[in-house]
Amino acid sequence: MTAALFLEQLLNGLQLGMTLFLMSAGLTLVFGVMGLINLAHGSLYMIGAFCCATITTMTGSFLLGLLAGFVGAAIAGLIIEVVVIRKLYDRDHLDQVLATFALILIISEGTSWIFGSSPLYLSIPSWLSGSIPLSFEEDSNSSYPIYRLVIIAIGLIIAYSLYLLITKTRLGMRIRAGESDREMIAALGVNIRVIYSLIFALGAALAGLAGSLVSTLYSVEVGMGEPVLILALVVIVIGGIGSVKGALVASILVGLVDTLGRVFLPNILALFIDNSQVATLSASLASVLVYILMAVILAIRPQGLFPANA
């Protein structure tokens, strides 16, 4: 195990964390402000990836593809909000879970109807496909792809912009007001429904951006959103539902624990147990590590790390 390998995995973990943050930021805002649990957020991620793949293939420009993923998911989010989600704000969590579960079924099957069941593949555009060395030693050939660094950078930029949006702008002030007292801000003459739609579309756009960004790393296919959605749910539970800051911290935590766990857990376990089963055991353990992390954190702090409405 070299320092370069460790650094490489650290960056991989950070990249996963940033993808998760883009997903969970919208999820946590929607819950914090509207009190809605949206399982169909993973479908918006998928819609973003499909838009990006289609437009990139058509125009040859990945930047246009990214834009299409962002805008496409935002439009899809807006439609979903107006047609379905709006009716769910006053319902209990069971109805919200079921209605958004129904949306997953509809969107997934609809997508596979249109695009077929074979996955789409995108390659990283040439101007982003290089890599930079991670080690200064002469004989070392370890390097890190620039593209993943770009994802990390975009994630950080979005996090900072969200921070500015929420703390420094009028819209952000209204979002925060909506978080603490919905009726009051409506009584003060703010059109709360428009704000709800905006927040939902913003969350959808960020999910779409996340889907577009990873569309060159993984295959674009129906069902790609759900594993990410579940990790994002873990993230917002750990971070404290409704808190964007919590989502950022928890995203990075979950990204690092998941990535580093998968790589280094076998080595660590091998120190203690000398057994042929260790590979199996560590693979199983590594895949559930984030859930164990969540269970432990919740056992200590049932409201998550940064409870929003404390």
Distance separating the N- and C-terminal Cα atoms of the chain: 43
Q: Can you list the alpha helix ranges (DSSP code H) found in the chain?
A: 3-34, 41-59, 62-83, 93-115, 146-168, 170-180, 182-187, 192-214, 225-239, 244-272, 278-300
Transcribe 221-274 into DSSP letters: -TTSHHHHHHHHHHHHHHH-TT-HHHHHHHHHHHHHHHHHHHHHHHHHHHHH--
Tokens 């838009």, residue located? 51
Q: Which x/- pattern, by CB under 8 A, does the window 108-137 give for another protein?
A: xxx-xx------------------------
CB closer to another protein, 98 vs 157 = 98
Which residue from 204, 237, 253, 265 is in contact with another protein, where contact means CB under 8 A? 237
Shortest distance, position 104 Cβ to another protein, whole Å: 7
Contact indicator for 246, 305 with CB cutoff of 8 Å: yes
Strand pairing of 143-145 and 131-133?
antiparallel
Shortest distance, position 256 Cβ to another protein, whole Å: 18
**Binding of another protein by 57 (CB under 8 A):** no
User: How many residues lie near another protein (CB under 8 A)?
Assistant: 40
**Binding of another protein by 233 (CB under 8 A):** yes
**Binding of another protein by 99 (CB under 8 A):** yes
Shortest distance, position 17 Cβ to another protein, whole Å: 18
**Binding of another protein by 46 (CB under 8 A):** no
CB closer to another protein, 84 vs 269 = 84
Contact indicator for 100, 37 with CB cutoff of 8 Å: yes
- Interface residues toward another protein, by CB under 8 A: 31, 37, 84, 87, 93-95, 97-99, 101-106, 108-110, 112-113, 226, 230, 233-234, 237, 241, 280, 283-284, 287-288, 291-292, 294-295, 298-299, 302-303
